[in-house]
Structures are given as structure tokens and as C-alpha cells.
Structure 1
Amino acid sequence: MTTPTQSDTPAQPDAPVRTARRTADLTGGLQAADLADFYRDLHRHPELSRREFRTAGKLAAALRTAGYEVTEGVGGTGVVGVLRRGEGPVVWLRADMDALPVGEETGLDYASQVPGVMHACGHDLHVTWLMGAALALAAGRDVWSGTVVVIGQPAEEGGAGAAAMVADGMHTRFPRPDVVLGQHAAPGPVGLYSHTPGLTMSAADDLDLIVYGVGGHGSRPEAAVDPIVTAAHVVTRLQTVISREIAARHSAVLTVGQFHAGERSNIIPGEARLGLNLRTQDPAVREQILAAIRRIAEGECAAAGCPKAPEITVVSSYPTTVNDAALDTEIAAVHRAVFGDGAVLDAGPAMGSEDFSLLAPAGVPYDYWYVTSTPLSVWDGAPGADLMEKFANVPANHSPLFAPDLAVLVPGVQTLVSAALATLA
């Protein structure tokens, strides 16, 4: 008997290809119509942060039916489902559940039925993907071993939900993860999956700034200190922080998104309130800009003779999201095996922000990627000669026109399932 040479030995598929085949087996029975019904129902009934009672209930019911141990009310309205299948790694899969205070203008036949509220960021898609992945992994539990933990997170908008779940024992009440995985719907032609090893999303801070003046009659401004004029100077001067104080090699954005003052046109109010949003990718740059905001506000108020210094409060913060480079490379390779080499790209760090990374215990690697969701008819009809020009001309997240293509329902489940299988034994 002779020993077979290398050429005589059948070639074995590499790990990503094996994972892709297992993913196909587990997701082959998915019913797109069932996913679409679940998604449309969530889209019709959006719920704002910390009020995701109905959404959480639907996810919890689906998980229980699939055999998960379900805990509700984690961090408020959070849902955690645990499915154990022998010894092996622990994988956490997360989706956010909250909607936005945006009035829907899509004209869809399943448009929001809640006035002034819609799923303008795709969280209804995220929950549907998570539910579908949880069911597929439960149905195919004979092909993997380990533990799957499914997380429906409340209140991502505003940055409080992940922290609330952690404060409620997320890291101690449930099996400790070996990896934490998540994904987000994004504008772009359907069929692309963006992976960025390392820094993938920016830090964000929301700030409230109050300018105090002296109220009076509109006919006698000399007897008042007008906080509107002072706040307007603050707004104008803040526009120079990025362009004149931050080196061009750094990415940062400072936006004044709110300006509230006064009740009547002939009354000078006693105060003006600004809402600021800061995006940074470097902690030192963040501190530099925060100091500049304070310096400018205090300087303008002093110059105007305001009766007291401005009040500046950081009301919420998101950390940077920094993917584990090795894990992201591994999952990107799996997604190439599932969807084809040309479907996976690296779009680089985004200025958007997330609280996803707070769910990962210290030292646990995590990965977060994007699934493009713009209908091809919308993408093809958008002005622009290249990808970036078109990207700027299609409805993006937080737009009242944001309407993902339902063609992404099954692929979005496959991305989560394949990523989980890459770790599970």
C-alpha cells in the first residue's frame, strides 16, 4: 500500500467555504414572505427609545417558540435569548430596536401608523435579521456546538440602551461571550457588505448649551441683554473650530442642530438654548473641541455682557467603535465565501456612531459591519457619475424617505448566521 501524494488527496475546502456551506444549509429553509410579514409589522408600529414594548414582545415570543431561554426587561425593554448546544464558544448577536421621531414620507403601503415616528434608521430590519438568524441557528443546532445569545437592545438612539443593559447585569447574568457581533443597514446598492478592520465608527457627544441674557421689550433692546444675538455669534464662531483649530489629518464634525429661544416676536427672551452634536475619531481631538466650545461660548457671553456664564452639559456620549482586526478579517472572508468576492468592500471609518461596543465586556473582540439596502431602481436613478456621488443622492438613515429594499431580508440573516458559525464549534 502506498502513501497518497498531495495530488492524490482530495482538496479540503477552507474554513470560510465550509462556513458558507453550513450557512446555506441552515438558511435554506428561510421563508422570505414570513420575514417580510414580521418586518412590515415592525415598520408599521415603530416605538421610540425606552418604549419598545411591542417590538420587544414580538422578538421575545419568536425566541421562546424557537427554544431560547428568554429574559425580558433587561435595561428597561431589552430582550436576551440564550440557546445552549453543548460545549463550545459563546457568540452574542445584537440588534437595536428603537425608532426615531421622524414623520414618514415614503408612501409605502406598510408605512408607519404612528404620527411623527418611523423606523428611519433600519432598526426594524435589524430586529428582523436577528429574529431570522436566531430561528435558523435554532433549527440547525445539530451542525454547531456552543452557546448563542441573542440581544434585542433598546434605546440605541441617544446612546443609553447598551449602557442600561450593562448596568442591569448584561455582563454577569448571561454567558460571557467569546465574540460580540452586530450589523447595520446602510444606503448603497443592494448586495454590498462593508467591513472595516479597526476604527469603523466615530465617537459622538450631544451637548446642551444655554446662553443667559436679560429679557425685555422688543422696542427697548438697550434695557436687555439679547441671548439670541449672543447665541447666533456662538453658532457662527463654532463653524471655525474644525476649519481653523483642527489639523486636516483629523476627521471631526461639529453641528448645531437645535436653536430654541423666545415665544413672541416683540419679547427679548431671558435665555437661548443650543443643541450641539460632536463627532470625533481621536480622544485628544475630542477634548480639544470640547474645550474650544466652552471657550467660545464663555467668550461671546462675556463680550455681550451676559449676567452669568453659559451652561454647557454633555447629555449623551457614544464611544468609538473599533473592530477587532483579526475577527473582522475572518468574518469578511466568510461573507466573501457566502456572497462573492465583489460583494465585500472596506468603506473606511464612518462619522456615524453607535453604542454597540459597550455591550462587549473588556477584552472581548467584537465586529460590526454594514449591509447596503437601497433599492437598485432608486440607486440607478440617483444623480451621480460614481459611487460617492450617488451615495449622497439616495435617502440615507434618519431620512423620512429611508425605505430599505426587502430583498435584503434573507441576506441580512445569512450575514449574521455565517458570522456566528465562524466562531461556533
Structure 2
Amino acid sequence: MSTFGQFLRVTTYGESHCPSVGCIVDNFPPGVPISEEIIQPQVSRRRPGQSSITTPRNEADIVSIQSGVEGGVTLGTPIAMTVKNKDQRPGDYKGDTMKQYPRPSHADFTYLEKYGVRASSGGGRSSARETIGRVAAGALCEHYLKLAHGIEIIAWVSSVGNIHHIPPTTEYPFRTQNPEFLQLLQEVTRETVDKTTVRCPDPEVSAKMEQLITEFRDRQDSIGGTVTCVIRNVPTGLGEPVFSKLEATLAHAMLSIPATKGFEIGSGFEGTEIPGSTHNDMFIRNPITDSETKNGFLKPKLATSTNNSGGIQGGITNGANIFFRVGFKPPATIGLPQETVTFTGETDGVLEAKGRHDPCVVPRAVPIVESMASICIMDALLLQGGRKMATFTPQV
């Protein structure tokens, strides 16, 4: 499926080397001020050719709004956005070797098995070029969330290979117990994240990560990593039991991103090693200074003293920060010789892949993670808003 969301519907289109890629966003609210200038910064953060540790494919990735906006405001009708592919090199994929041999761990083989035909150049729909539409749609949603409700969504690179931003220590073996990590969730900003090439908010750790990525790039190899994301100022009550719990929706969104292999929220897998008496988030009275929060929702009467749940309990937001981590595998396309066989299975061979590819995807994955999170939260917000509007009040 190329469509995501229950009420807010985002459909992406395009392959790696076709004339353009983009999206259609349906059921976006009317009257929201928007322009290409608002969408472009996130699309530019995702674009290739940003640095020496990303793919050298040089695309400007200029977004153009095609419909659904007039006079600088949304009309409530489908919003179409497109980005042209300009620096294509389909010839990199048309040599006999690339045509005959599937790339190990790539989608070349599985797409052929599913459809009986595959894109002749690049990864087709499995290529990260597809995510441009997601980022454009996510930037649209993020703008609304910030403008209307003060919601903030910040992601950053938390590890590359075995280099971790905030590694476990003897004193704090779990992230959710570490004051440094908890402070980061409260204070990290996009400006701080973008000060480093790798998009890790710690310059010293970022330099080590960049060096590691450079080493793998120079060896024609690749390496994986993780991206952590926090969502702040989220109102209570978002999420749809039972099969559309908000953490399930977030997991669906994140694991749909190319190269993802893992998702955890809150304490995640570390939480399996903590007794319930330690892991439970104790309820406390929420100090209320006025009747409403700055984002227009009633303040809950309760808060929690800890946040091992990651802001979601029973699939529904409890008002605390939502935070999660996404694992990305090493990119499959590398220049080193790899043993493989032809698509027909008849001949063994060695593939040294051509083309331009990232040695590590996590620096460019940061805005993709933020964008998919924005789409999830906005979809949940609109669903909850519809429920409130439909609440029955008997006539007196």
C-alpha cells in the first residue's frame, strides 16, 4: 500500500529515477496558512549530497505545491506536492552485472517475486527517494501541530555502529533512569541537532560517529545506527484502541521507512529487565495553574513521577513526552565484491554494485522519522477531535 493514515490520508508516488516523486494529503484541515517556504526546510534536510558522508547524488529537491492551497491557505481539498528528479543516472544500473544479479539484502529480488517486473534502475519504490513525499506531508502536519497546539517533534542520531550518544553506565544502566537522557528529552532542539553533520546533539560524539562513517565509506562498505525521537506537549487521550494504539501506529510508520529493522518506545527492551515495582510510573497530582494548557486542551488532573511508558499507556497518550528509538540497518548497496547468483538462479557471480548511495542512512533519516511521527500525531488528533464533536449531549 502507498497510503498511510486513517482519517488524515497520505499517499506517496514515484520511483528512484522517474521524472518526479511526491504525495497527496487528503482531509487536511482548511484555513491553515502554508507555503512552499514552510515545507522546504524539512525536504532540504532529507536531500542527498549534503555532506561527504551522504550519497553524492546532487538533487536540489525543490518542493512545489500543486493543489489544495490558494491565497496562502489550505482549502480542505487534497493537497498535492511534487519534487522533480533531476540528477538521475539510470545508466549506473544498466550494465550486465546490475541487470542480471540481485543486490544482497536489497529489494531487487523480492520486488521481482511480487510483481513479476521491477524498476530497471535503482530500487524503484523501495528506494529512499520515495520518502520525499512523506517528508513533504510530514512538514505540512508538523506546521499545523506547532501552530495550533504547540506540539514539538525533534529527532536525532543516537548511535552509529557501536558509538552511542548516551551509553549505559554502571550507575544508570537504563536510559529512562539517566538524568542526562531525561534532560535531553526536555531540552533538545532542532537547531542543536543540525549543528553537526551527523545530526547528533553532542559535538564530541558526533565527530566520532562521522569518523566511523567515513571509514566505512572509504572501504566501500556501510554501517547502521539508531534515531531517537521525542514528541513534546502532546495532549492526553490520543490513540485508538485496540488495533490502532498510538505506539502501534508509530511502530507501523517507523518500520515502513526504508532500512528500518527495529522500534522501541519508552523503556523499550531495557524495560524487560526492570521489576514492575521499579518500572511502574507512579501517579502524582498535576499542578494546575489555569484551566487550559497553551495548546488548547484541558490539563489532566494527574501526571506521572517517571516516564518509562514513553508517554503512552494502554495505547493512549497520558500527557507525558512521547519518545521512541528506531534502528536502521547498514545500506545494502555497497561497492565491495559480494557473492550472489543471477535472478534466474542459474549462474553464480560476484557483484560490485555501482551507483551513488549513503554509507550510513541515519543522518538523513532524522527528518523522515520526524515527518512520519508528525503524520501519526496529526491523524490521531483529528480522530480524537471527531470523537469529541460526535459526543452525544441530551437535550434538557
Q: Choose between structure 1 and 2: higher strand proportion.
A: 1
Could you say which structure has the higher helix fraction? Answer: 1
Shorter-chain TM-score bucket reads: under 0.3
Pair member with larger Rg: 1
If the length of structure 2 is used for normalisation, what is the TM-score?
A: 0.25
